[in-house]
Structures are given as structure tokens and as C-alpha cells.
Amino acid sequence: MNDPNPTVEAAPEAPKQPKVHGQPIDKLPDDLYIPPDALEVFLDAFEGPLDLLLYLIRRQNLNILDIPVLKITQQYMEYIAIMRDMKLELAAEYLVMAAYLAEIKSRILLPKPALEEDVGDPRMDLVRRLQEYERFKTAAENLDAMPRVGREIHIAQARPDLVVKPQPLPPPTLRELLMAMRDAMTRAEMFSHHQVAREPLSVRERMSKILTRLRAGPASFFDLFDPEEGRAGIVVCLLAILELARGAMLEVVQEQAFGPLRVQVARARAVVTEDELTSDFDKEPE
């Protein structure tokens, strides 16, 4: 009985053709040049003849204490032939190791003279060299497998934004006042030859003048002194400023470090009445 739904085999897919700029290529161009060494395959590089011998022993799981010299020598020579066919520079030490393996095999096969002392298995010298090389190679591989900064481990670095916080300047001390007074005295000496007569000076009167001057706005410390009055005028003015500062009627400020001193009316008592001023002047400072 015929199957009403016969199975239709799917046609094999056509191999995909390479394309260049979206256009399929049916044949290679006539002017295509392929360098002779373009498809050359490079084998794993070995660090020396001992490294090659150790690789051959490990690949076949051989006992390093019982090395089949003939089998290892044949594989060793095959690798040297491959290196020559690939036009690689063959170091002389590889050829020396090949000759050494041939010598070991010949010493095993040839009979020993009766008078010659038995020096043991000729392979032991090679075994000791291989064991020592294997220890150093294993240690180097273990060191290389350890996590390394910059390869497996990356140090996290976070640089916070630099926040510039203004630092309030300390209020002027007595030292700054004395230094300002010294400068004022130095300036007063420049006008000493213009002084004709000495007039009596009053601290209370000078306090009143300073307050009247400061009501118009802050003033420089030196602007409150009159160099023509000489040393006495500077001392009286300084005493007046100190008395007003002690009574909290003015304050001395410094806008920047080592900057000039400025005198202004105290903020807490920005306006001073004539009654308060009269009551403060009742007692003449000593």
C-alpha cells in the first residue's frame, strides 16, 4: 500500500560563497598573491633541550626514572626535523642534546670492558638534570599562576572631590594692634619737624571724634590717626580705640591674614546715642 504522505528529502544546502563588497566571488582573481609562508604553522616554543625532553616525557606519562632512551630520541629527532622544515633557527644546544641521547643509548647497548669500573646507569645523569629542571619549571609556573597586580588584581582608586572650605580668620590680637601702633609711630616721626606747639589732648574728645567718623562707615586703622599730632596724639587715639572696644562700641577687624586693620562700629550696637556716649565719658581713663 502506497503511503499517502510520502516523505520528501530536503535538498542539501549549497555552500556559501565568499563575498567582497556584497558581491559573491566565483573564482579567485588572477592577480591574487599569497606569500609562501602565509599558511605556516608555528609549534609551541621550548626554552631549551631539557624543556623539550620534559615535554615529551609528560605527554606520554613516562616514568622519569626509567626513560626509554630509544623512543625519546626518535621523537626528539622528529621534532628537530620539523623545526628544520619550518626554516626555524635551530640552536646548537638542541643538536648537542641529540648527540648526548645517542651516546647514552650506545653506552647502554655496547658491552662494558672487563677492566672498566661499573659507573651505574648512564641515564642517571640525564635524570638528575631533568628532575632539577622540572623543579624550577614547576616553581616558575606556580609563581606565574599566582594573582598579579595589574593582571588579575586591579587596585581600586577613588579620588574624592576637593571641597574648599573657607576658614574664618581669627580676630586681631593685641600684637596686631601694637604692630599697627608701631607703624603709626613711625609715620608720626616723619612729621615731627612740623610740630610747633603741643596742644592738650583728651581721650574722651577723641572717642567722640572716632565714633562720629565711624558712623559714616568703616575706616582704616591708620586713617584715625593724625601724624601731625606726634606721639602724644597717637597714644591718645590708641587709648580712645581701646576704651571704645572695651565698651563694645566698636570692633577691630582684619579681612585677610597679615592684612591691614579696619575699625568699624560694633554690630551689636551699631548706633550709639548721645546719652550713652555722655554716660561712658563721665569717667576719664587713667
Q: Check pLDDT > 70 for residue 89.
A: no
- What SS3 class is residue 264? strand
pTM, to two decimals = 0.37
Domain containing residue 259: 174-280
Cα 246 to Cα 10, 27, 184: the distances in Å are 111, 107, 21
Q: What is the CATH number of the domain that holds 264?
A: 1.10.10.580
The whole-angstrom separation of Cα 228 and Cα 226 is: 5
Examine residue 15 and state whether it is found in any structural domain, yes or no. no
Q: Which has more pLDDT, 219 or 196?
A: 219
Examine residue 71 and state whether it is found in any structural domain, yes or no. yes
Q: Check pLDDT > 80 for residue 102.
A: yes
Name the nearest CA neighbour of 190 among 237, 225, 230, 232. Answer: 230
Across residues 185-207, what is the average pLDDT? 73
Examine residue 159 and state whether it is found in any structural domain, yes or no. no
Residue 1, pLDDT score: 46
The whole-angstrom separation of Cα 268 and Cα 249 is: 8
Name the nearest CA neighbour of 171 among 245, 268, 247. Answer: 245
**Are residue 202 and residue 261 in the same domain, yes or no?**
yes
The whole-angstrom separation of Cα 34 and Cα 42 is: 18
pLDDT (tens digit, 9 = 90+) per residue, 3-58?
555 554 555 566 667 777 777 777 767 776 666 555 444 445 677 788 888 888 88
**Are residue 134 and residue 186 in the same domain, yes or no?**
no
The whole-angstrom separation of Cα 216 and Cα 85 is: 104
Examine residue 26 and state whether it is found in any structural domain, yes or no. no
Examine residue 31 and state whether it is found in any structural domain, yes or no. no
Examine residue 221 and state whether it is found in any structural domain, yes or no. yes
DSSP E strands, the chain: 19-20, 23-24, 219-220, 250-254, 261-265
Q: Which has more pLDDT, 275 or 161?
A: 161
**Are residue 262 and residue 182 in the same domain, yes or no?**
yes
Between vectors from CA 261 to CA 255 and to CA 265, what angle results, nearest 5°? Answer: 85
Examine residue 260 and state whether it is found in any structural domain, yes or no. yes
